[in-house]
């Protein structure tokens, strides 16, 4: 049974388009992408395969996007499903 993920994401995007376009979400996305680029430069692509970039001290608690505050973490652990 084939899935049409592209259609689903398109439908989801149009339903929640304000969620991605507001300035706070854009800023968060920029910081997440910057953190990933920093770790890729330091550790390489293979170290981040199937991993998320975790801020040891979260951004909302005053953490910075610097190498000393970043670590690769499994997707399950980083998103709270241990």
Query: Across the chain, how many H-helices and E-strands are there?
Result: 4, 2
Note down pLDDT in tens along the chain; length 82 residues: 455 556 666 666 666 666 667 888 888 889 999 999 999 999 999 989 999 999 999 988 999 999 999 999 998 998 887 5
d(CA 53, CA 74): 9
What's this model's pTM, rounded to 2 decimal places?
A: 0.70
């Amino acid at each position: 049974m084939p899935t049409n993920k592209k259609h689903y994401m398109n439908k989801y995007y149009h339903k929640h388009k304000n969620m991605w376009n507001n300035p706070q979400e854009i800023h968060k996305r920029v910081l997440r992408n910057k953190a990933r680029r920093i770790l890729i430069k330091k550790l390489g692509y293979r170290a981040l395969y199937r991993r998320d970039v975790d801020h040891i001290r979260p951004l909302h608690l005053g953490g910075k996007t610097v190498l000393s505050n970043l670590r690769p973490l499994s997707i399950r652990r980083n998103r709270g499903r241990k």
